[in-house]
A and B are shown apart, each in its own frame.
Chain A
Amino acid sequence: MTVSGRTYDLDSQNVQEALQGALPEPIHEHFVVINGRRWPPKQVLALVTGLDRADFTTHQARRALTRLGFPAGRLPSRSQRRAGRPSAAASRPAAAQSAGREQPLVEALRPLIGLWVAVRGDEVLVAAPSPREVVAWLARHRQRAQSMFRVPDSEEDVTGAAPQ
């Protein structure tokens, strides 16, 4: 594939390898999904190619990565997100909510079991092995989380039951 006049031999495997140890930066609008996490397309292409981000556009990065088979998406605008925020005042039976309702945060957290996360609404801002890394990421990117916690990797983590 050619990016910014240079040719690269890329496949999905070496893209995934290039992201090892990196944390996704904040998503402003466009993202690609790699290993169950959302990444800014320009960050990924810069990591993979070593190019400066000024050398290509978001759309070029997004197109290059979707050609390699990674799904891409776009965040709703801030106003759409505000309008779509679920109202806690809406009174519905709990059983119906848990059983039938879409749970976007649950699905976003599923690939992150065992990791520390910072979330805002249904959006995962960052996931990392320790709270120190989460806090450092928030500071570095001037982001404010609604909540920080570790995604439990067992029911006992939550219930506090003694090991069997």
Chain B
Amino acid sequence: MRFPFRALPAAGGGSLTPRPVVDIALEGLADAPMECLLDTGALRTRMSAELAPLAGIELTGSLTEEFFIGGLKTTGALARVNLTVTDDTDEFSWDAPVWFCEPWPHPFGLAGLEGFLHYFLVTIRAYDEYLDIEPRP
């Protein structure tokens, strides 16, 4: 399954360097997969807490942790959710831990080891601006 890097406009003009992203759909939010930056240095997979109620994910009583991201102190709440990636031809779903964070400074989610990389063989072709993922055998 192939994901081209995605370029975005820069506020000051021009465009930001295209980055490796994967669009991951939360169970209950299949029509709006969340863009997630592939973060090979991150242990967790994290998304904005705003998304949890939209997907019907209950965070009350969840395990929480505080951490700093982008210079911002934030709190993540853990939920085990079903995630899906698709490229219109193939589709793969898996059950994984996701930390829903409030506040969340990024315009996308972060796909880290737990929650994403543990489930796939990932090949990053940065020179050619795409990445390939294959479900772990």
Contacts and interface: CB of A to CB of B under 8 A. Distances in A.
Contacts of A12: none
Interface in A137-164: 138-139, 143-158, 160-163
B11 A154 contact: yes
B15 interface: yes
Nearest to A144: B31
Interface in B6-33: 6-11, 15-19, 21, 23, 29-33
Contacts of A143: 31
Interface residue SS majority, chain B: loop
Interface residues of B, number: 40
A132 interface: yes
Interface stretch (A50-58, A59-67, A89-97): A89-97
Contacts of A88: 2-4, 130
Contacts of A156: 70
Interface residues of A, number: 44
A28 interface: no
Contacts of B23: 146-147
B127 A93 contact: yes
Given A98-B17, A158-B106, A103 B7 contact: yes
